[in-house]
Every structure is written in C-alpha cells, then in structure tokens.
Amino acid sequence: MSSFVKLLATVGMALCLVGGLHATGYFGPYIYLDDGGKNVAGSPEFYWGLEVRRISRDFHPPEKLVVSKEAAQINEEEERTKKTSENTTETDLKDFDSAVQEARIKPADAAKAKEQHKQARAALDATASGTPTPLPAEFDSEFADYHKGAAAYLNQQWDEARAAWENLLKRPEQDRHYRTVWAAFMLGKVALKEKDFPTATQWFQRTRELAKAGFADSSGLAAESYGWEGRAEWKQDHPEKAALLFMNQLALGDASAVVSLKAVIPDREPASGLLNYGPEPEEREKWTDEQKREEEQKETAKLKVAAQDPLLRRLVTVHILATAVSPDYYYTEGLKKEGVNRSARWFNIIQQANLSRVEDGEYLGWISYNAGDYKGAAHWLELSKADTAAALWLKAKLQLRAGKFADATNTMARAVEIMKTSPAYTSHEGEEWATEDLFAKGEYWGFASRASGDLGGLRLARGDFVQALDVLFRGQLWEDAAFVAERVLTTNELKQYVDALPTTEPPKEGEDYNKKLRYLLGRRLVREDRYADAEQYLPQPYDKVLEKYVKALKDGANEKLSKTERAHAWFTAAWLARYDGMELMGTEGAPDAFAESGSFEMPDLAKERRSGAYQTVAYDKEGKASYDENGNPKMKSVPAVLKASAKEIQRLNTNKVTPDIRFHYRLIAGALAMKAAALLPDNSEELADIVNQAGMWVKDRDEKVANRYYQVIDHRCAKTKIGQTARAKHWFVDQQGPSSTAEQQAHEAMRKELKMDSSE
C-alpha cells in the first residue's frame, strides 16, 4: 500500500470547508490545492440549484415561458413584480390592438375603444400599486370581462372575480380568443385563494389545454401554470405530483422552481431569514421533546413515501448532499456531525424499500463517501452502472483510495470532459446559473471548478505539469493555475503555453484569464531579467514603465557615464522598483500576493509542497480551538495528502523567488539604491538621502539587510543632516533629501504622462 493510501486510511475522509483559516491569518478557499491537497481526496460540494437543474433536463414540456429580459435580470421581488406588471399592461394593449385589426372585436369607434381600454388598464395598475381606482366604462368584449375580474381580484373580491371570468368563458369561442387562457389561469389562482385546491389544479390543467387548443397565450401562462398547479398539489399533500410539476416549471426556465422544489423534501431544515415551508426555526426551538419526536415520525413516514417515487427519491438524495455539513476531517472526534443522522435514516429507508432499481445511484454513493463508508460508496456506484460525470468522479476517488493513481487520473479526466459537454451542466439561453454553480466565484468553488481542481492536483502530483496548468486554468481556479505557472513550469514552458492561447474577445463580464496569465508571464520574465521578452506581455502603461526601468539599469551600469549620472540612474531604477515593483515583477501568489493586490499574505503553496506538510488550526476533542497569549489560534503541522514528486520539488527549488520575502521587490529596490550609494562621496546629502530611503524600504522586510544599510549611514554620513538625525535615533528616519525629492517629482510626472492613477 502506498504512503498516500495509508495516510488516507489514517485520517479518514477529506472534506472541503467553505472557508479556511491559515497560519498567516488569510481566509480562503482561494487555493484549491492548499491544505496539503486534501480536497483532492475529499468530496466535492454539491449545489441544490445545479442538481435540480440537472434532473430537469429529463423533462421536455411543450409550453414556452414568456419572461421579459428586464424582469428576469431583477433580483428584488418587489421590483421584479413591478416590471412584470408593466409587461402585462404592455401585452394587454398589444392584444387589444391585434383584436381590433383582426376584426375579432368590432367597435364602432376603434380609437375610442382603444382609449377606453388603455384607461381601464391604467386603473388596474393604479389599484395594484395601492391606489384603488374604479374601472371606467369599456367597449363590451372579452377584454372588458377580464378587466372586471382583475379589478375584483385586486380588491380580494373572489366571488365577483370568479363570476366575471366564468362569464368571459361563456362567450362563443370566436369572441374570446385573447383572454380565454388568461381567465382560466386566474380562475385557478382564485381557487387557490379560497383554498379549493382540487379546483385550482383543474383550472391550471385547463389553462394548458386551452393554450394547446389554439387560444392566445401572449403572457406564457400555460408555462407558468405548472408552478401554480404544483403549489396546489403540494397543498393537498401530493409531493410526488408537485415535484413533477415544479420540475416541468424548471425545465421551462423558471428559476423560482429551484426554491419551490425544496417544499417536497420532507426533512429539510428551515433557515432563518429565508423562505420556509412549514414551521420557522424560532417555532421549532420552542418544541418539547415530545413534539420533536412526533415531527421526526412524520418526517420518516413521508420519507418512506418519497423512497417509493423515482423523482422524489432523487430529490431527497441530492438535497442531503447539497445541505450536508462538511467538518474538517482532522478534528471530527467528539463533534456532533450535522447531517449524519439524516443520511443514515435515508439509507435505512432506501434499504427497507427493497427497490429493484435506483436512479442516480452514484449520488447515494457520494452520501456514503461523505460518511466514510467507502464500501457502501462502491456498492451504490456499481448499482448505478452510470457513465455520468458524478459517477466517474466518485469512481476516481475510490481508485485513488485504492492506490490506482494512474487510473484515478484517467477517470477524472473523463469526468471533466463529460462535464464540459453534458446537457446536465450547460445552460440554456437566458440561464445565468451555470457560471455561479459551476465555476469559481469569489470565495466559493463551483462544481466544475472542483472537478478541475481534483484533476489538476492529480496531474501535478504525477508530474504532468503543463497539463496540470491547463486543467486548472480552464477550470477557472486562478490561484492554483498561477502557482503552477509561476513556480512549477519553466519560464519557456509557460511562454509556449501563453503564446499558444487562442486570440479571443475579452469577456463582457468576469475575469479575462488569458490577459491575467499573459501579465503573470510578463512579471516573471522581468524577475528573470528577460526584459525584451517581458515587454510584450505587460499591459499598458507598465510596458512603458519597464522601458524606463531598463534604461535606468543600463545607464547605471554604463561606465562611460559619470559617477553622478550613474548614481542618479541606479536610484531612478530603485525608485521604480519600489513604487511600481508589484506591477512590474510582483508574484501572483506568495510571497507578494499580486492576486490580492498585496493586501493579504497568501498561503505559500510552494513552501508547503516542498515540506510535505501544512499548518492548520489545532482543535480539541470537543471541536474547540485554543489560542495563544496574543489571541491567535494555535496551529499544528499536518502531513500533506497530495504529496509533491521529486521532480516537482526540484522545480520548486529552481524557481524560487529571490529574495523569498513578501514584497520582495522592495529588497531589490534597496539593493539598487545601494549601487547608487557606492558611487557617491562620503558625507554628501545625496548619499545620506539614498541610503536612508533604501533602509526605509527594507527595514520591515529584512532587518539584517537594514542593519547593513544603517552601518553605511553611521560610517559614511555622520556629517549630513539626515545622517545626524538617523544616528540620534539609531535607525532610519522618515524624511526626504534632494535625491528622493527629485525622484518623487519625476515619478509623479511619469505617472501623469502615462495617465496612471495616483495611488501607490
């Protein structure tokens, strides 16, 4: 058995936290391969919205949802309702115009009839907005009948509303082409208001039948009826029927069904501040033990019913996966594991059901994997006999545990490839959910990004470095891809990869990863003094800043120039390195953290992988962290799960950042300033100024280097103003002299010339 497999057996199942606390105080999970690569052995995070949409791909209702782009893009319920109301008014006016043009209604004065219709619609809108307004007189038609019902409905006069719409449906078919579907739909909503759920169900079904029969459905109410009928069936305690209806609603593109489908999950946990179906959390907290037992018995009974229904069975399974709490597998002892009892109960019910066939068996396998039951996971995987992305992903995890590293990598590669093309993971027109649930966003990893993270980790551990970069880069795991690009690949390998990237238009939204990778390469080339190569990869205006930096370096080394000119050039280069160093040569990850704009110290993945261990918070058996006298959590060293190969370690050592210190370019700036100092006469104000500035730049980075610089002030600048002040303080002083004042002015002029922002 390999050491990797032994370690997995020792620590148990590796699960991913939504956030992680590192020794640096950095909160993530921005780096998927951090924490010893434990994510590669753990379970992915499942997303309820993604999974129910995946299941909805099996449904193909013939209706078409009609939702304006404006309304679909509004998140606030009140604003969306307002926009939908505006669209209803617009549709109503258009339908009336069409009815007149088609001679379906024949007013003696068409213009007058249109104006009356418009005024009636305005009265309804005013009433809907909270200002009750009587309906004006209208030309007698299906539209007038509908408006009467709508006015009564808005005033909660259900009998009058129902009577008006029923009268509309009594008109001859040729006289109610435009409002038949609308009336049937609203009669269903009236029945819901009156809690006559069977009648509501019938009317919503009738809505779709009438639309199929050829009556106009300009607002897409046939499609919308699925959700409302689903609500009526749920109210009648028919979860299996409600689930089918909500799933059709979702298949049509109505995202609200994602929330509605939670209503059919018997043992869902309510959440404060969110829409719940049933008792709120505050109410549950007041329950007695007897009430809790009664509720559990009810849930169990409903789960047994759900286990017999194929769709409900799939939904309960993915809901358990999507809501499972993932404890850190290094401190599970003594902790209450939320979700374990729920999973165990569901498995017992499934086994008692004696099913001949289990759809989505691989997802039951994932529940087993989460619980550390790897034999059970293999059992369900075998029963599923599926070739889905989720099944292959689980198979890869089990192969990895069995020590079949190559097989796991190949299987995971198939899973990632299927995920790219499967209809289950591709969005339809107008669906924005894919980018949120599939790919990394902010501090969360998406489903597809996690798959790429697993494959990328396996590729990296096998020494397939370019392939590892490619997988992580295309999976939008930027920090991980940047680590491989910056610290593992050779510069020429990275350059070849970047040069081969296809030329594409920048995305309208989100990150331009091609551009980011080009910039990363440019900064790496600068660090390696390959300035001619670097310029084409740096974005404007830093390509021009690089030109000035390179010229200053050349002038500083040019012995044909006077010492004063050379000193000035070296100090110019030093100033540029100090104040534009992050943009010219900063590392994307540790030590400089360009990815975080230098604001946070990022985990040093290179150091972690070289050492084969990482630091994590130490927890006791009760799951509590202990703290030191400064209030910082105590840390402990944990062996890496996904170890680096000898080949990778060799590359990490070769590709070290020099110096390997946060904001390393400040040390470079200090060294360049000291080159200028070497050319200046003792006890000159220029010398004291330059050495003092160099010391100010490095004193917080490397105290030993700073001490050497201070010795220069002590020995060569004793008679200068800055030197005397510094010697009195026994350290560097925050003041400028002639050289730094001149460089600051020149730097500000350059920034103005290149139209750079004024921030440092």
| Lowest mean per-residue pLDDT among 54-68, 127-141, 174-188, 297-311 | 54-68
227-251: average pLDDT: 96
Residue 594 lies in a domain: yes
Confidence at residue 283, expressed as pLDDT on a 0 to 100 scale:
79
The answer on 139 and 109 residing in a single domain is: yes
Backbone phi, then psi, for 596, in 5-degree steps?
A: -110, 20
Token couple for 484: 């491989």
Backbone phi, then psi, for 592, in 5-degree steps?
A: -85, -30
631-655: average pLDDT: 92
Q: In the listed set 140, 175, 196, which residue is the last one of a domain according to the structure?
A: 196
Number of domains in the chain: 3
SS3 143: helix
Residue 627 lies in a domain: no
Cis preceding-peptide flag for 541 (omega within 30 of 0): yes
Domain holding 708, by residue range, is 540-599+662-760
- If pLDDT is split at 50, 70 and 90, which confidence band does 66 have? confident
Q: Other C-beta atoms within 10 Å of 661: how many?
A: 16
246-251: average pLDDT: 95
Place of tokens 């089990």: 398
Looking at the predicted structure, is the pLDDT value of residue 434 above 60? no
166-179: average pLDDT: 97
Q: 500-519: per-residue pLDDT in tens?
A: 999 888 888 778 999 999 99
Beta bridge partners of 21: 27
Place of tokens 């809901």: 319
Confidence at residue 324, expressed as pLDDT on a 0 to 100 scale:
75
Residue 100 lies in a domain: yes
Confidence at residue 84, expressed as pLDDT on a 0 to 100 scale:
52
Token couple for 671: 């060294």
The answer on 126 and 76 residing in a single domain is: yes
Contact 477, 32 (CB under 8 A): yes
Backbone phi, then psi, for 757, in 5-degree steps?
A: -70, 165
Q: Other C-beta atoms within 10 Å of 565: how many?
A: 14
Residue 106 lies in a domain: yes
- If pLDDT is split at 50, 70 and 90, which confidence band does 72 have? very low
* Radius of gyration from C-alpha coordinates of the chain: 34
Confidence at residue 234, expressed as pLDDT on a 0 to 100 scale:
94
Percent of the chain scored above 90 by pLDDT?
70
Looking at the predicted structure, is the pLDDT value of residue 13 above 80? no
- If pLDDT is split at 50, 70 and 90, which confidence band does 23 have? very low
CA angle in degrees (0–180, nearest 5) for 747-753-759: 55
Contact 726, 732 (CB under 8 A): yes
Beta bridge partners of 701: none
Q: What are the DSSP calls for 100-147, one per residue? A: HHTTSS--SSHHHHHHHHHHHHHHHHHHHTT---PPPP--SSHHHHHH
SS3 619: strand
Q: 30-44: per-residue pLDDT in tens?
A: 799 999 999 999 999
CA distance from start to end of the chain? 54
Q: 645-682: per-residue pLDDT in tens?
A: 999 999 999 999 999 999 999 999 999 999 999 999 99
Q: 736-750: per-residue pLDDT in tens?
A: 999 999 999 999 999
The answer on 526 and 547 residing in a single domain is: no
Looking at the predicted structure, is the pLDDT value of residue 20 above 80? no
The answer on 666 and 535 residing in a single domain is: no
Token couple for 244: 């089918």
Looking at the predicted structure, is the pLDDT value of residue 291 above 90? no
Report the candidate in 547, 555, 571 with the shortest Cα–Cα distance to residue 741: 571
199-226: average pLDDT: 97
Report the candidate in 14, 56, 38, 33 with the shortest Cα–Cα distance to residue 480: 33
The answer on 579 and 524 residing in a single domain is: no
Confidence at residue 81, expressed as pLDDT on a 0 to 100 scale:
46
Contact 311, 238 (CB under 8 A): no
Report the candidate in 394, 432, 462 with the shortest Cα–Cα distance to residue 46: 394
Confidence at residue 277, expressed as pLDDT on a 0 to 100 scale:
66
In angstroms, what CA-CA distances link 526 with 151, 533, 583, 730?
Answer: 72, 8, 10, 36
689-718: average pLDDT: 97
The answer on 572 and 707 residing in a single domain is: yes
184-188: average pLDDT: 97
Q: In the listed set 196, 217, 244, which residue is the last one of a domain according to the structure?
A: 196
Residue 219 lies in a domain: no
Token couple for 723: 């030197």
The answer on 143 and 75 residing in a single domain is: yes
Q: Other C-beta atoms within 10 Å of 406: how many?
A: 10
Instruction: Please give the Cα distance from 60 to 197 (Å, whole number).
Output: 25
85-92: average pLDDT: 84
Looking at the predicted structure, is the pLDDT value of residue 209 above 90? yes
Residue 686 lies in a domain: yes
Confidence at residue 432, expressed as pLDDT on a 0 to 100 scale:
55
Instruction: Please give the Cα distance from 202 to 421 (Å, whole number).
Output: 39
Residue scoring higher pLDDT (647 or 47):
647
Looking at the predicted structure, is the pLDDT value of residue 1 above 50? no
- If pLDDT is split at 50, 70 and 90, which confidence band does 271 have? low
Beta bridge partners of 54: none
Q: In the listed set 147, 176, 196, which residue is the last one of a domain according to the structure?
A: 196
Percent of the chain scored above 70 by pLDDT?
88
Tell me the H-state helices in 236-326.
Answer: 239-251, 257-260, 281-285, 289-307, 310-323
Q: What are the DSSP calls for 679-698, one per residue? A: TSPTT-HHHHHHHHHHHHHH
| Lowest mean per-residue pLDDT among 257-261, 277-281, 464-468, 477-481 | 277-281
Looking at the predicted structure, is the pLDDT value of residue 340 above 60? no
Residue 74 lies in a domain: yes
Residue scoring higher pLDDT (15 or 705):
705
- If pLDDT is split at 50, 70 and 90, which confidence band does 759 have? very low
The answer on 710 and 760 residing in a single domain is: yes
Token couple for 457: 């980790």
Instruction: Please give the Cα distance from 665 to 124 (Å, whole number).
Output: 67
287-301: average pLDDT: 86
Token couple for 527: 């660090």
Looking at the predicted structure, is the pLDDT value of residue 70 above 60? no
Contact 257, 287 (CB under 8 A): no
Confidence at residue 328, expressed as pLDDT on a 0 to 100 scale:
40
- Orientation angle between helical segments 703-716 and 685-698, nearest 10 degrees: 170
Instruction: Please give the Cα distance from 716 to 112 (Å, whole number).
Output: 98
**Mean pLDDT score of the chain:** 88
Place of tokens 């440019």: 522
| Lowest mean per-residue pLDDT among 61-70, 109-118, 541-550, 672-681 | 61-70
The answer on 556 and 515 residing in a single domain is: no
Residue scoring higher pLDDT (720 or 621):
720
Residue scoring higher pLDDT (326 or 680):
680
Residue scoring higher pLDDT (597 or 557):
557
Token couple for 26: 């950095």
Place of tokens 């209030």: 631
Confidence at residue 341, expressed as pLDDT on a 0 to 100 scale:
77
The answer on 697 and 737 residing in a single domain is: yes
Q: Other C-beta atoms within 10 Å of 543: how many?
A: 16
H or E element: which one contains 238? none
SS3 21: strand
Looking at the predicted structure, is the pLDDT value of residue 86 above 90? no
Residue 755 lies in a domain: yes
- If pLDDT is split at 50, 70 and 90, which confidence band does 440 have? low
The answer on 154 and 104 residing in a single domain is: yes
The answer on 158 and 111 residing in a single domain is: yes
